[in-house]
């Protein structure tokens, strides 16, 4: 039984650190409180939906911002070609970021939400001539991608810990 | 654990009696119904679960047009949670249309903080009874239900 107690403490400490470092906020608590015996996997389900949506949005953003196909990142569609005559539709970019901001705030992914807010501010500068706005948006996209990967890893680790506790016959600490 | 908290909130504002959740409720207690109008699947899931946990029967649609169509075919709800930004028909248009159709439900606008104050004002003026900033929480939802209590 000692092993379970250790794991439970590990989980509590881990969650506390995620809040402390700003990865998660109060909204995540709201989600945990919605989980009950009739729906024991609620948080995992919602967060999985968030992961799916996020991957889709990141792909859409890459397309809208003409990320060159030579990018080796698995997030970006390797079939996107660099278009020359068209202009970037910043309103479309903004719409995607708005969505991302909304869903990240709904699950309490605080740092992702914050970079989305900054991103939207740059999208508003669409009237500025030249490639500056585009470059800034590309940078923002990198930041969003980065924060998203971080929180995704953290949450997956959290869920793994929970699984281990349950498998060892323990119960999840009260929220 | 979570249900105990929810019941306490509900008892505090007297909603516990209305929804018929909890012990000792008579058949006279009417079941509250709600409609979630939101294009985001994460929000749909969360809002629906919040309502469910409060004992509120609810349906989910993806945009304003689906909400209007539901009402056109004779459905009615005590409460409508209306998102603002949605494809096909947004929350402003949908709320206007529903009010034109004579829908008297409590319509609560639920939207991510928009810096466009004009748009928020337009949303309010389209016929909302209440407005809550996303993300929606159970306490915010309970405060919306207060309005329902008053209307009844």
Hey, which residues does B106 pair with through a beta bridge?
A: B79
**In whole angstroms, how far apart are CA A101 and each of A23, A26, A66, A113, A139?**
14, 16, 21, 5, 17
In this prediction, residue B31 carries a pLDDT of 85
How confident is the model over B15-67, as pLDDT tens digits? Answer: 554 444 444 444 434 689 999 999 999 999 999 999 999 999 999 999 999 99
In this predicted model, what pLDDT tens digit does every residue of B53-100 receive, in sequence order? Answer: 999 999 999 999 999 999 999 999 999 999 999 999 999 999 999 999
Residue A71 has pLDDT above 50, yes or no: no
Subunit contact A108:B137, Cβ cutoff 8 A: no
Residues within 8 A of A (CB atoms), B 35-94 only? 40-43, 45-46, 49-50, 53, 85
- Residue A53's alpha-carbon distances to A58, A171, B97, in angstroms, are 9, 30, 30
Please give the Cα distance from A42 to A46 (Å, whole number).
6
Q: Would an 8 Å CB–CB cutoff place B137 in contact with chain A?
A: yes
Q: Please check whether residue B134 touches A, CB under 8 A.
A: yes
CB pairs under 8 A between A and B: 65
Residue B57: what are its φ and ψ, rounded to 5°?
-65, 135
Residues of chain A neighbouring B85 (CB-CB closer than 8 A)? 95, 98-99
Do the Cβ atoms of A106 and B1 come within 8 Å?
A: no
Closest chain B CA to residue A95: B85
The minimum CA-CA distance between B63 and chain A, rounded to whole Å, is 14
Q: Is A106 on the interface with B (CB under 8 A)?
A: yes
User: Residue B5: what pLDDT?
Assistant: 53
pLDDT tens per residue, range A79-117: 444 444 467 788 889 999 999 999 999 999 999 999 999
In the predicted model, is pLDDT for residue A174 greater than 80? Answer: no
CB contact under 8 A, A49 and B53: no
Reported as a pLDDT band with limits 50, 70 and 90, residue B13 is low
Specify the DSSP class assigned to residue B34. E
* pLDDT tens, residue by residue, A121-146: 888 766 556 677 788 889 999 999 99
Pairwise CB contact (< 8 Å): B42 & A106: yes
């Amino acid at each position: 039984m000692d092993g379970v107690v250790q794991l439970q403490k590990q989980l509590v400490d881990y969650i506390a650190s995620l809040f402390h470092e700003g990865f998660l906020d109060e909204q995540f608590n709201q989600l945990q409180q919605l989980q009950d015996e009739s729906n024991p996997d609620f948080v995992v389900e919602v967060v999985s939906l968030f992961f799916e949506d996020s991957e889709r949005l990141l792909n859409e953003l890459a397309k809208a911002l003409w990320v060159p196909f030579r990018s080796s990142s698995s997030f970006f569609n390797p079939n996107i070609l660099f278009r020359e005559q068209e202009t970037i539709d910043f309103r479309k970019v903004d719409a995607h970021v708005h969505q991302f901001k909304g869903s990240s705030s709904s699950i309490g992914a605080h740092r992702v939400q914050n970079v989305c807010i900054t991103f939207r501010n740059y999208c508003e500068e669409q009237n500025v001539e030249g490639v500056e706005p585009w470059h800034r948006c590309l940078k923002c996209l990198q930041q969003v991608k980065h924060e998203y990967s971080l929180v995704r890893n953290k949450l997956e680790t959290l869920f793994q810990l929970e699984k281990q506790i349950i498998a060892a016959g323990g119960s999840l600490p009260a929220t | 654990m979570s249900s105990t908290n929810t019941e306490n909130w509900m008892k505090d504002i007297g909603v516990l009696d209305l929804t018929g959740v909890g012990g000792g409720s008579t058949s006279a207690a009417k079941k509250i119904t709600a409609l979630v109008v939101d294009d985001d699947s994460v929000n749909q899931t969360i809002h629906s679960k919040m309502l469910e946990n409060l004992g509120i029967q609810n349906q989910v649609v993806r945009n304003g047009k689906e909400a209007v169509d539901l009402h056109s075919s004779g459905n009615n709800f005590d409460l409508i949670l209306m998102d603002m930004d949605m494809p096909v028909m947004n929350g402003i248009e949908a709320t206007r249309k529903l009010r034109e159709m004579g829908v008297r439900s409590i319509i609560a606008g639920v939207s991510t903080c928009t810096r466009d104050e004009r748009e928020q004002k337009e949303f309010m003026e389209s016929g909302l009874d209440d407005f809550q900033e996303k993300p929606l929480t159970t306490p915010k939802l309970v405060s919306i239900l207060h309005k329902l209590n008053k209307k009844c």
